[in-house]
Structures are given as structure tokens and as C-alpha cells.
Amino acid sequence: MLGEGVDITAPLQFELRFQQSGQLVELDGKFSTSVELGCGRCLKRYTADLASEFALTFTPFVEEQEGNEEEEEVELETDELGLVYYRDDCLDLLHPLQDQVVMALPISPLCSDECAGLCSECGCNLNETQCGCEKKIFNNKFSALAGLKIDSNQD
């Protein structure tokens, strides 16, 4: 449901409030759960709490051309980007709610801010042990610019 390497470890609880205005349905909601992720530095599995608040607007899907069975690419206007379309007076909540959970996942999951990661030479977890590998100096091609002096008084 959430992607490879992500497991839900606690019940996924949603709190949803719906309000209808004409054919539009406004949804305000929040969710909470716990997930198990892999750290982006040391690859160790860890559990993190996940919670988010969101708002969605559902609007009816309108077929512009009757009888056109082929799916065509449609360009959305700016005011249409946050809309979720529904058909036949039925709101399908599965995909919009799933999207909210996925968007709340961290882009770069870390088991802790202090995570030292893996040794680039031998691969050992530097949070658990220190290896004897020689640390290579990073060859930054822009380091030659460090001594460059710029005269800020030039007009």
C-alpha cells in the first residue's frame, strides 16, 4: 500500500469531516499511525510515528465529449490541481487517503539526526562500531575557489 520498505505497525486511524456545498464535497481530515522504515544512512529498520492533517475537495467528473472511449491527455488549470473527481454520487476514498499517507512519509528517513551511517569503505554501521578504514578526503573541485577574493567595492 505505501511502497517498498514501508510497513504499517499500528492501526491507521482517520478522523474525517465532510461538508457538501452544491456538487462540491469538502473533506477535512487527519490521520495517525506508526510505520517501520529503513534509515537512509545506516539502512537499519526503525519505527516512526506518522500524522498529518489535510483538506480535499471532491467534484463530479464531467465527460466533455460523449462517446469518446480513448483516454486523452488533459491539461489541468491551476484551480483544478487540488480537486478529486467522483462519479455517480459516490466518493472513492481509498486512493485520495492513501496519497495523503504516502505524502506524509519522510523523503529521507533517518533513524536519528545523529546517525553516522555506513562506512564508505567496508560498509560497517558506524553507529555500532568504529572501523579502522582510512577516511578519504573528499575531492571538491570547487575548493580552488575558496581563496578567491572578490572586491565588493566595484561598481
Reported as a pLDDT band with limits 50, 70 and 90, residue 35 is: very high
CA dihedral sign of residues 102, 95, 9, 29: positive
Please indicate, yes or no, whether the overall pTM of this predicted structure exceeds 0.95: no
Each domain of the chain, given as residue ranges in start order, spans 7-115
Distance CA 86, CA 93 (A): 10
User: Which residues, other chains included, contact 28 with Cβ-Cβ below 8 Å and sequence gap of 6+?
Assistant: 16, 17, 19, 53, 54, 55
Distance CA 38, CA 51 (A): 18
Q: For residue range 99-111, what is the model confidence (pLDDT) as tens digits?
A: 999 999 999 999 9
Residue 97 confidence (pLDDT) above 60? yes
Dihedral (C-alpha) 63, 65, 71, 75: value to the nearest 10 degrees? -80
Output 109 or 136, whichever has higher pLDDT: 109
Q: For residue range 109-129, what is the model confidence (pLDDT) as tens digits?
A: 999 999 999 998 899 999 999
Distance CA 45, CA 82 (A): 34
Place of cell 487517503: 97
Say what the pLDDT of residue 65 is.
39
Say what the pLDDT of residue 102 is.
94
